[in-house]
Amino acid sequence: LLAGDNSWALKLPDALVDLQWIAALPGHKVLTKGNHDYWWDAARKRRAELPASLTLVEADAAVCGDWVLCGTRAWLTPGHPTFDPATDERIYARELGRLERALAAAQRLAEGSRPIGVLLHYPPFFPDGRPTRFAEMLSAAAVAFCVYGHLHRRADWNVAVQGERGGVRYHLTAGDFLNFVPSLIVDERGQVRERSFQG
């Protein structure tokens, strides 16, 4: 599960070098969009152009083994120290709508029998640990786990929410936090692990 910033290329042809490298790694990879994925203009349009071992989720969901996975980028939330209503309000509202559609699609695919996992790029919590509207939506949807990234400084890692909150297990999976070593989220018994550990 890759929670965004998958390639810093501006256009898909340039991003394909990174994406093909990711695709060649073992297993199936599910990706959501990060704030630096400028090549990613529309998931539906891009899916046909990518290797079969990659699944993009953006405002929708996919069945992956015994799980249903969905996601979106998310965004800064009103009340966040760097939120600027002039530039962020429109994107924030759009991302809330995308998460709502993603969760609805996941619940349809889950049919009440498969657990749901969510990929977000932005953390669904304020820096002080309070839940944002994104986290509230995940709890209301009875999501099993959420992976997120975006945090690249040790000071942010130290206060990042990990573990269970509101019935959802949260995992910070930013590459540099994990020292670019994959973290096991769900074990071989289908149990969600408590948290990700710094590499």
Which domains, and CATH codes, for the chain? 12-172 (3.60.21.10)
Q: What is the mean pLDDT of the chain?
A: 92
pLDDT band at 195 (very low <50, low <70, confident <90, very high): low
What is the Cα 139 distance to its own chain's centre?
15
Tell me the average pLDDT across 10-23: 93
pLDDT band at 17 (very low <50, low <70, confident <90, very high): very high
pTM of the model as a whole: 0.93
Q: b vs e for 23-32, b when ≥16 Cβ sit within 10 Å of the residue's Cβ?
A: eeeeeebbbb
pLDDT of residue 3 exceeding 60, the answer is: yes
Cα gap 131→12, rounded to integer Å: 34
pLDDT band at 187 (very low <50, low <70, confident <90, very high): confident
Assess contact for 25 and 70: CB atoms under 8 A: no
Tell me the average pLDDT across 3-15: 93
User: Both ends of the chain: CA-CA distance in Å?
Assistant: 16
- Each residue of 119-167: pLDDT tens digit? 999 999 999 999 999 999 999 999 999 999 999 999 999 999 999 999 9
pLDDT band at 49 (very low <50, low <70, confident <90, very high): confident
